[in-house]
Amino acid sequence: MALAIATCAFGFAGSAMPASRLASSAVSPTMALERKFWKSGATASSPSSGGKQDFLEATPYWDQSNVPVNTYKNKAPFIAKVVSVKRIVGPQATGETCDIVMDHGGKMPYWEGQSYGVIPPGINPKNGKPNSVRLYSIASTRYGDDMTGKTTTLCVRRATYWCPELKADDPAKKGVCSNYLCDSSPGDELKLTGPSGKVMLMPEKDPNVDLIMVATGTGIAPYRGFIRRLFVEKTPFGEVYNGLAWLFLGVANSDALLYDDDWQEIKKKFPNNFRVDYALSREQTNKAGGKMYIQDKVAEYADEIFSRMDKGAHMYFCGLKGMMPGITDMLQDVSKQKGLVWEDKLKEWKENGQWHVEVY
C-alpha cells in the first residue's frame, strides 16, 4: 500500500485478562500466544520475570508529545529483516494481498496509525536514480503481533497492470515496491525509513470515544493496529475502553476481505464495543440497485454517524484517494437533507480534530 499509515513508560498491573476477553471459542494461534503472555504477567524483554508490560507506553499513556517521527531517513535507513510473508486473500480475490512481518529489533518504535517507508532496490528507469521510498501504513500495534515490541506488520497488495494486448500482466508496469515486498522471503533485508505521520493516531485520553474507521482494501492496515490495541492486547487504553470502534471496509468480493476472521471473533466477544460493515462491490447492491461501494455502505448509517460525530466521535479514512469524493459527496447530500451546510460541518469536525484522512 502506498501511503496509508514507540518508547516511554506507563505502569499497569500484569494481571490476567478479564474473563470477558477470555471467554471465546475459536482463537487464532497469535491470540493464544498473546493470552498466555498476558496471563503470565511477563514482560517482552523477560518473559518469565513476572514484571509489568509497560515498556512502550507513554506517561500518561495518552500523551502523544513524544511520538517517534522520522527516526530513520532516506540517506540512513534502518535495515530490518523479513520474518514472514503470507497471502491473506482467497483464490477469487481481485489481486494478491500479503501480510508481511518484519523484525526491527526494538530499534524502530512506532505508534498505531503511523507509516514505515520502504526503499526497494534497483534503479528507476525514468531518471536513472535509485528507487525512491514508498510509504506503507503499519498494520500492527507498537508491540508487534507477538508482544515483543520488536516486529512490524505491513499489509501490501501486489500492484500489477493487465495488458489487454498481451492478455497478461505486463511485468514492465508492475508496482516496484509492492512486488518486491510480496516476493520477499524470511531473512531478506529491507531498507526502512520513518516512522512517519501523526494524522491517524488514536485519541486515547477519553475511554468513551467512538472511532469510526473507513477503509478500502489495504487501507485496513492502521485499523488493524487500532483494533488489536483495543480488544486483543492488554493495553492501558484497551483496559478502560468503553466506546464504539466501528469498521467499514470496501473490497470487491468476499475472498478479498482482509483479516475477517479476527473481526468476527472480536465482534463476538465485544458486541457492544465493536461493529464491522462491509461494502462488497461485486456481490452487493446499494439502495439504488447499483454496485455497493464504501460510500453507499456508510450512507446507510449516515444519521447515526452524524449523531456520534456531534458527540465527539473521530472518523478515519484510509485507502485509495478515489474513495473520498464519493464519501464527501454523500455526506454533503446528508447534510443538505438535515438542513446543514456541509462545509461548515466539515470545518467544525476538522477544527475539533475529529476528521482524519490518509489516502493514496
State which H helix or E strand residue 157 sits in.
Answer: strand 151-157
Any known ligand binding at 319?
A: yes
- State yes or no: is 360 an active-site residue: yes
- State yes or no: is 318 an active-site residue: yes
Any known ligand binding at 338?
A: no
Identified catalytic residue from 112, 278, 318, 335:
318
Any known ligand binding at 157?
A: yes
Any known ligand binding at 94?
A: no
Any known ligand binding at 281?
A: yes
Identified catalytic residue from 61, 136, 223, 241:
136
Identified catalytic residue from 34, 57, 112, 358:
358
Any known ligand binding at 112?
A: no
Any known ligand binding at 275?
A: no
Any known ligand binding at 218?
A: yes
- State yes or no: is 137 an active-site residue: yes
CA 200 to chain centre: 9
- State yes or no: is 189 an active-site residue: no
Identified catalytic residue from 115, 137, 140, 184:
137
- State yes or no: is 136 an active-site residue: yes
List residues forming the annotated binding site: 137, 157, 218, 281-282, 291, 319-320, 358
List residues forming the annotated binding site for NADP(+): 137, 157, 218, 281-282, 291, 319-320, 358
Q: Which residues are catalytic?
A: 136-137, 318, 358, 360
